[in-house]
Structure 1
């Protein structure tokens, strides 16, 4: 019997049919060739009924297959730091956080320290979780709300498949300037980088496909100025997609001065990720998580 280190991320499967090779069985479980190579050479293990086996071994009904993934090293340039994390949900595979506005998701030239990734790396170090930080859903510095992190590169890969298949769903609420005319519609406009800027995006014909569903929750006025409270659902995940699409529509986000909004009502872009829904990459169970709109947006919405 092979002794296995318990701290490594581990998946267990029971074989349901005879004759299939282990490598084909694992491919059906969406374990990539790259991951299998890492398992073989970087400190992982493949066990069948408790014994280490080659990927060419044939399987039988009832066999138990264990995949022990190799420990991961922290990404280059990511410093583990101690900091506050608002944890919404956590298990052996995923970590779900509620990110405040004014915190970057990952380090950048302007925000190298104190990011959510730095704090998650600190948590992993403190709890001896042998993983780097795999961001599944990235939020801009001044966007608040739900943030999903995978605890293993294979889990990140499985979430990527869900993104492609549109079974991973992201919903936001925002306050935009002006009264949006239609109640429920789709913006299907490609997005690309604005010439001369490394940050700003625009709608452009040669950009990447980008689709955003928009639904009006309420139209209101504040100090005589028109605003619209909207719900948005991303069908794609381009950088600054919501901000770019709403500017293109002629209704920039309140507080978003990079994309034409003004800050006299709110000091940051009024955008919050309210809902994440997906199928758990290990159990297959449907998961739905909801985060309330924060105080600064509520004040703008309610006090009118």
Structure 2
């Protein structure tokens, strides 16, 4: 989705994050209301609520306008998004953060192992959310943590994070429509077929809040495509793409075909080749939420996986 933006910038005023956009209205949008136009651009209701709270956040040809105001071809529409609060229940913590890409709308981080994405009772101050909030807190920038793709605590790699409510809404919609493509790299036990598709439903294991299993009666459909990249010393290096996003999908599916991930304490507990499941979010392909530009981001394999397949790059 390409947006006809000819000017945009991010500013910091009195501990406020302000993201500004200027749109030139094209002929096909003539007679639409401002709200209708912005809705087509992916603006959610939460942004409309925020705009109504902020004086002069919507200007049409330099004049403060209502959302019901109709547009004409050639009009200049100015939008100012303002956020002045940070995530209320996330403690900002200064810690190392491996940033793969950042602009005024998105942040992509290479998440390490042993780091949950969100805080919980047992992981209050050492999560990715703590680190990202700490990163912006150190810059005195108010920030609300909005993660687009979640990873298990010990799955490493690319995690995409929205920097404001508009980019979050657009990316969340893209994720729901399967418009964000993710490639995982994994190391599995044994020699897998050269390629294949696993189409098997996944459900909870009775009595466990964490563990999953193949469940043809009550499970949700799950589809995983895989391709073997290399085989060495009893291990297969795999590239995987998911059509669905079930909890532990790759881990459960590979176990179901007799090739569980090495190091996976839940589904391959006797393997101690490495200290966590050998799964890495390697590549993200998506459209930028504001400009519509095609993006391809990659994160190199972590050392514990790379040492087993040093020729992979």
Which TM-score applies when normalising by structure 2?
0.87
**C-alpha deviation, 1:295, in angstroms:** 1.4
**C-alpha deviation, 1:144, in angstroms:** 1.1
**C-alpha deviation, 1:218, in angstroms:** 1.8
> Partner residue of 2:222?
210
Alignment of 1:226-241 (within 5 A): 226-241=234-249
Q: Structure 2: where are the runs of 5+ without partners?
A: 1-10
CA contact (8 A) 2:87 2:143 kept: no
> Partner residue of 1:11?
21
RMSD across aligned positions (CA): 2.1
Give the secondary structure class of the aligned counterpart of 1:301: coil
CA contact (8 A) 1:43 1:69 kept: no
Instruction: State the 4+ residue runs in structure 1 displaced beyond 4 angstroms.
Output: none
> Partner residue of 1:220?
232
- CA distance in 1 between counterparts of 2:308 and 2:109 reads 24
Alignment of 1:62-141 (within 5 A): 62-71=74-83, 73-141=85-153
CA contact (8 A) 1:103 1:116 kept: yes
Alignment of 1:262-301 (within 5 A): 262-301=270-309
CA contact (8 A) 1:105 1:115 kept: yes
Moved more, 115-124 or 200-209: 200-209
CA contact (8 A) 2:56 2:64 kept: no
- CA distance in 1 between counterparts of 2:254 and 2:222 reads 12
**C-alpha deviation, 1:147, in angstroms:** 1.1
> Partner residue of 2:198?
187
Q: Structure 1: where are the runs of 5+ without partners?
A: none
Give the secondary structure class of the aligned counterpart of 2:210: coil
- CA distance in 2 between counterparts of 1:44 and 1:117 reads 32
Give the secondary structure class of the aligned counterpart of 1:215: strand
Which TM-score applies when normalising by structure 1?
0.90
Determine if the alignment matches structure 1 residue 198 to structure 2 residue 206.
no
